[in-house]
Structure 1
Amino acid sequence: MSIGNSPEDERPFEDDREEARLSIGHALRQARIAAGLTVDDVTNATRVRISIVHAIEADDFAPCGGDVYARGHIRTLAKAVHLDPAPLIAQYDAEHGGRPAPTPAAPLFEAERIRPERRGPNWTAAMVAAIVAVVGFVGFTAFKGGDDGGGGKTQVAEGSTPATSKSASPTPRTSTSDTPKAAPSDSAIAAAPQDKVTVQVSAPDGRSWISAKDHNGRLLFDGLLKQGDSKTFQDSQKINLVLGDAGAIQLYVNGKKIEDSFQPGAVERLTYTKGDPQVG
């Protein structure tokens, strides 16, 4: 019997090696110690709070706030201590009922995304058809005048010049009126309403689990944003975001691109309001 040792010091002598090997928190803690890192070092490197790091190493995932956030924290901590996160994520899914199915975005924002795709009448095609008709008429008149001799040819050439000018003059006005009706690109949200906060989240180079809530705490989206996908959220006061892998996300807030250099695999909790974008 060892005198003066704490229960934690005596734990390696117990016959529970298999159980420790299967523990996610134990694997992360052992890898951190082997890498010569403290909890403070891991917190500074990953931005995950100290209390959450301690809880995960004790296999307590409740402080993470849900399965999506727990997976993101496990992935972030595993990378920080030089572990492959895939087996740990698979183990977490097996122990907690598997990965949930993605929740579709609220119909309000689907309608908002589709609305800019409307186009007005195709005035350009009508204008081109009119010009072709005028040019054909002028060509036919010139050809007919050529049969009457040189004098007739000169008269037709003089008459065709003003006719062509008159038909071509509406061209700039028609093109100008058609230009504002072109559909905006996915990132063109600079014209967002000033009395609301508009947040666009896209994953151009990877994928990430994201969660979005309005100022009342109502869940707007909770699921996987695949590579190339984009979501737009809008509220009268603020949008609360959680990014499972912030390094894969590109943000536009109230028409402005957010230039924060998020680390790959890092979990970020952000809040954006009206006016200049501010990280909460």
Structure 2
Amino acid sequence: MPEGGFSDGTSAGTERPSIGRALQQARIAAHLTVDEISGSTRVRIPIVHAIEQDDFSRCGGDVYARGHIRMLARAVGLDPQPLMEQFDAEHGGRPAPTPAAPRFEAERIRPERRRPNWTAAMVAAIVAVVGFVGFTLVNGGVGDTKNKQVAEGAQPEQPDLKPTPIKKADPKPEPSDSAIAAAPRDKVTVKLSAMEDKSWISAKAHNGKLLFDGILVKGDSKTFQDDEQIDLILGNAGAIELYVNGKKVEDEFQPGQIERLSYTQGDPEIG
């Protein structure tokens, strides 16, 4: 028997099975295959196999390992809390939130302040002044004409020279937050907005090129575009509002939930 554990997945000195063993037994008891579990949780098949063998190295860190354990436990009908406590005890306690890397601070999108539309304000002021002057001239001319007619008799009618009103210039349209609604059909366009809380996100192009890997704070947005496909990882999916090719994705993501998504032309459909 190997040192530090048992070959049947139990921990030394206890009868409690390992995390992977417990998840595997519950899955088998529920008559579920690894493919079915992967489809319902969106955890990739190789990662499901690795977790059932108590190999958490493919999860990408303790934060993501805890998220995978939680989703797999719920999928097979287990209470995730004891498994989470067991994982924390075996891996040095609950991990602290990962701060944003300094190299991504420059890429963070901050909402731009709206500048005053001085052109529209000036046009409005000119229209008001011209209108007031025209109104005064018209009313004054009518009064003088009536007085002269009483004193001197009827006078030939003068043409009513009303000032031509100046057409108010149409204000320059403000850029729309949903500009991706007109996204080109020959590309895939994805927009992410942190609505409720901050969220760590990662985005890659179809050729594996990393487009972004960092944290969006509440109120920030990020838009990505590729010719064929965009792959996403959302660390706190419940805080994200997601638009794909100009259409809002209506999936009900939960706070703290980790989502791995892929989108192509013609979506939104979860990849």
TM-score by length of 2: 0.66
CA-CA distance at 1:212 after TM superposition:
0.8
CA RMSD of superposed structures (Å): 4.6
- In the alignment, the residues of structure 2 paired with residue 205 and residue 223 of structure 1 have an alpha-carbon distance, to the nearest angstrom, of 17
Identity rate of aligned residues, in percent?
A: 42
- Give the structure 2 partner of residue 62 of structure 1: 57
Note if contact 1:93-1:99 (Cα within 8 Å) is conserved in structure 2.
no
1:127 alignment partner AA: V
Higher relative contact order (CA 8 A, sep 6+): 1
- In the alignment, the residues of structure 2 paired with residue 277 and residue 237 of structure 1 have an alpha-carbon distance, to the nearest angstrom, of 14
Alignment of 1:72-151 (within 5 A): 72-80=67-75, 81-84=78-81, 87=85, 94=92, 98-103=96-101, 105=104, 110=109, 122-142=118-138, 144-145=140-141, 148=144, 150-151=146-147
- Give the structure 1 partner of residue 182 of structure 2: 191
Evaluate the alpha carbon distance shift between residue 159 and residue 149 of structure 1 in structure 2; reply closer, same or farther with a 3 A threshold: closer
Note if contact 1:102-1:222 (Cα within 8 Å) is conserved in structure 2.
no
2:201 alignment partner AA: I
Higher relative helix content: 1
Aligned partner of 2:241 among 244, 250, 255: 250
CA-CA distance at 1:254 after TM superposition:
2.1
Evaluate the alpha carbon distance shift between residue 199 and residue 269 of structure 1 in structure 2; reply closer, same or farther with a 3 A threshold: same
- In the alignment, the residues of structure 2 paired with residue 157 and residue 26 of structure 1 have an alpha-carbon distance, to the nearest angstrom, of 103
- Give the structure 2 partner of residue 270 of structure 1: 261
1:182 alignment partner AA: E
Evaluate the alpha carbon distance shift between residue 158 and residue 39 of structure 1 in structure 2; reply closer, same or farther with a 3 A threshold: same
Structure 2 gaps of 5+ residues are: 1-5, 150-155
* CA shift digits 1:150-208 (9 cap, x unpaired): 3469x999746x31xx224x22xx12xx24x31212x3312334554321012434554
Evaluate the alpha carbon distance shift between residue 92 and residue 137 of structure 1 in structure 2; reply closer, same or farther with a 3 A threshold: farther
Paired residues, what number? 254
Note if contact 2:109-2:221 (Cα within 8 Å) is conserved in structure 1.
no
Aligned partner of 1:209 among 189, 194, 200: 200
CA-CA distance at 1:128 after TM superposition:
1.1
Q: Matched residue of 1:8: which SS?
A: coil
Q: Matched residue of 1:190: which SS?
A: helix
CA-CA distance at 1:253 after TM superposition:
1.7
- In the alignment, the residues of structure 2 paired with residue 268 and residue 156 of structure 1 have an alpha-carbon distance, to the nearest angstrom, of 80
Q: Name whichever of 200-209 and 210-219 sits farther off.
A: 200-209
- Give the structure 1 partner of residue 3 of structure 2: none
Aligned partner of 1:167 among 134, 159, 165: 165
Note if contact 2:38-2:48 (Cα within 8 Å) is conserved in structure 1.
yes
Evaluate the alpha carbon distance shift between residue 235 and residue 34 of structure 1 in structure 2; reply closer, same or farther with a 3 A threshold: closer
Evaluate the alpha carbon distance shift between residue 105 and residue 39 of structure 1 in structure 2; reply closer, same or farther with a 3 A threshold: farther
* CA shift digits 1:112-168 (9 cap, x unpaired): x86xx7879643212211111112213443565477473469x999746x31xx224
Note if contact 1:207-1:248 (Cα within 8 Å) is conserved in structure 2.
yes
Evaluate the alpha carbon distance shift between residue 30 and residue 156 of structure 1 in structure 2; reply closer, same or farther with a 3 A threshold: farther
- Give the structure 2 partner of residue 239 of structure 1: 230
CA-CA distance at 1:259 after TM superposition:
3.8
1:8 alignment partner AA: D
- Give the structure 2 partner of residue 52 of structure 1: 47
1:64 alignment partner AA: C
Note if contact 1:39-1:53 (Cα within 8 Å) is conserved in structure 2.
no
